[in-house]
């Protein structure tokens, strides 16, 4: 099977996560091709990591007031604000055997390399910052998270075209330790968007660059395709049964 | 319930909460921004800590044993740091 490119528009947070999980299961079972999916969010949402304590990561009241949804991801990592207008998200799903090594730490870099490449194509000197970030001039422009299941690996991550920073940092809870570690920099100053760097292009241009970037970093050509009926059903099922459920959100 | 936070340089923020009884772990919960493989490993780690004496060496052994047995990996926090935090949290409880 050729590697598939899924160019999707804006979906709701629960369906976005359900879709990523449906693709992961499909690749694991051999019923789905390796896939690069690019998507956006509507409405804006905070996603929290698989292992985060809900209370510690997000201000639910602030989210409610602002109409921002909260969803727990399948992947680990921290809390992320997904801006409805300005965030382009990638998810890359392949088999573990496609990875160049068995090293977990190195796999984050390998799977996020397409983002670094894309930014280079757009004219920016970006660098991968271990464990799972991409930065321009020392400021974070992208973060990624990963999960593995049944011999398949899914990594998804953000790329900030623009962001309502005021809103983002109102709804996210940045732990005191993180603030202390980085001295006097405000959390919002450690993050940068392409807009803030003067980029004039739109989400479509960013997506085009991401496709080229991943194609180049993985040495693969992608064929544009759609979700299969099986995946579509599984995505909706997961969105309903897992991502919308209180039990899942409040698990930790 | 005692609580302790770990943030190693270049690592991921990790919080451990421990209930202790008679100098041993009665229950433990780990949360934070780390990654863990395979799915379900964190629950197995938490279960494996029950009954273990609140001693860094014992906790380290228990952590290594469950991770080894399950082929588990936690990315973002090291076993020694985790053990230290668990003991601290347990003693505070």
Residues 40-69 of B with CB under 8 A from A: 42
Domain ranges of chain B: 2-92
The predicted-structure confidence for B7-33, as pLDDT tens digits, reads as follows 998 899 999 999 999 999 999 999 999
3-state secondary structure of A18: helix
- Read off the DSSP letter of residue A2: P
* Mutation choice for B interface testing from A55, A72, A76, A248 by most B CBs within 10 A: A76
User: For B40-64, how does the pLDDT look when each residue is reduced to its tens digit (9 = 90+)?
Assistant: 999 999 999 999 999 999 999 999 9
Q: At what angle do helices B41-49 and B56-70 cross, to 10 degrees?
A: 140
- Is it the case that residue A46 has pLDDT exceeding 90? yes
Asked if B13's CB is within 8 angstroms of A104's CB, the reply is no
> Using 50, 70 and 90 to split pLDDT, how confident is the model at A177?
low
- Which residues does chain A have within 8 Å of residue B33's beta carbon, measured at their own beta carbons? 49, 51-52, 76-78
Assign A225 to helix, strand or coil: coil
State which residue of chain A sits closest to B76, comparing Cα positions. A131
pLDDT number for residue A188: 81
Alpha carbon separation from A18 to A11, A15, A71, A72, A167 (Å, rounded): 11, 5, 11, 11, 25
Under a CB-based contact definition with an 8 Å cutoff, are residues A11 and A84 in contact? no
Q: Which of B7, B12, B36 sits opposite A131 (nearest CB)?
A: B12
What CATH homologous superfamily does B2-92 map to? CO dehydrogenase flavoprotein, C-terminal domain (3.30.390.50)
pLDDT band at A184 (very low <50, low <70, confident <90, very high): low
ipTM of the complex: 0.96
B37 interaction partners in chain A (CB closer than 8 Å): 104, 148
d(CA A27, CA A35): 8
Banded pLDDT at A180 (limits 50, 70, 90): low
* ∠ Cα A75 A35 A206 (to 5°): 85
How confident is the model over B69-80, as a mean pLDDT? Answer: 97
Rounded to the nearest integer, the mean pLDDT of chain A is 96
Selected residue with higher pLDDT from B30 and A2: B30
pLDDT digits (tens, 9 = 90+) for A193-205: 999 999 999 999 9
Alpha carbon distance A57, A175 (integer Å):
8
Instruction: Decide: B41 and B70 in contact? Cβ < 8 Å.
Output: yes
């Amino acid at each position: 099977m050729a590697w598939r490119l899924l160019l999707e528009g804006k979906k709701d947070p629960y369906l976005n996560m359900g879709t990523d999980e449906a693709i992961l299961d499909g690749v694991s079972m051999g019923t789905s091709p390796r896939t690069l999916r690019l998507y956006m969010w509507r409405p804006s949402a905070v996603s929290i990591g698989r292992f985060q304590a809900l209370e510690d990561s997000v201000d639910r009241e602030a989210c409610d007031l602002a109409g921002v949804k909260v969803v727990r991801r399948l992947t680990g990592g921290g809390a992320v604000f997904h801006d409805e207008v300005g965030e382009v998200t990638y998810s890359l799903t392949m088999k573990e055997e496609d990875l160049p090594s068995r090293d977990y730490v190195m796999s984050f870099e390998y799977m996020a390399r397409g983002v670094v490449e894309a930014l280079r194509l757009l004219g920016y000197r970006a660098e991968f910052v271990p464990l799972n970030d991409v930065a321009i001039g020392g400021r974070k422009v992208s973060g990624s998270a990963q999960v593995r299941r049944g011999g398949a690996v899914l990594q998804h991550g953000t790329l900030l075209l623009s962001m309502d920073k005021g809103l983002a940092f109102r709804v996210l809870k940045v732990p005191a330790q993180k603030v202390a570690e980085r001295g006097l920099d405000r959390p919002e100053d450690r993050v940068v968007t392409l807009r803030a760097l003067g980029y004039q292009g739109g989400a479509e241009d960013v997506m085009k660059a991401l496709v080229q970037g991943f194609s180049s970093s993985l040495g693969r050509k992608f064929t544009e395709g759609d979700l299969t009926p099986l995946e579509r059903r599984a995505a909706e099922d997961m969105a309903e049964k897992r991502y919308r459920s209180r039990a899942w959100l409040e698990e930790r | 319930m005692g609580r302790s936070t770990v943030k190693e340089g270049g690592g991921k923020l990790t919080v451990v909460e421990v209930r202790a009884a008679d100098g041993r772990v009665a229950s433990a919960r780990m949360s934070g921004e780390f990654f863990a493989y395979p799915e379900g490993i964190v629950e197995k780690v938490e279960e494996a800590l029950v009954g273990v004496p609140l001693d860094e060496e014992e906790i380290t052994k228990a952590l290594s044993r469950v991770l080894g047995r399950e082929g588990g990996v936690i990315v973002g926090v090291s076993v020694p740091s985790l053990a230290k935090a668990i003991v601290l949290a347990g003693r505070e409880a």
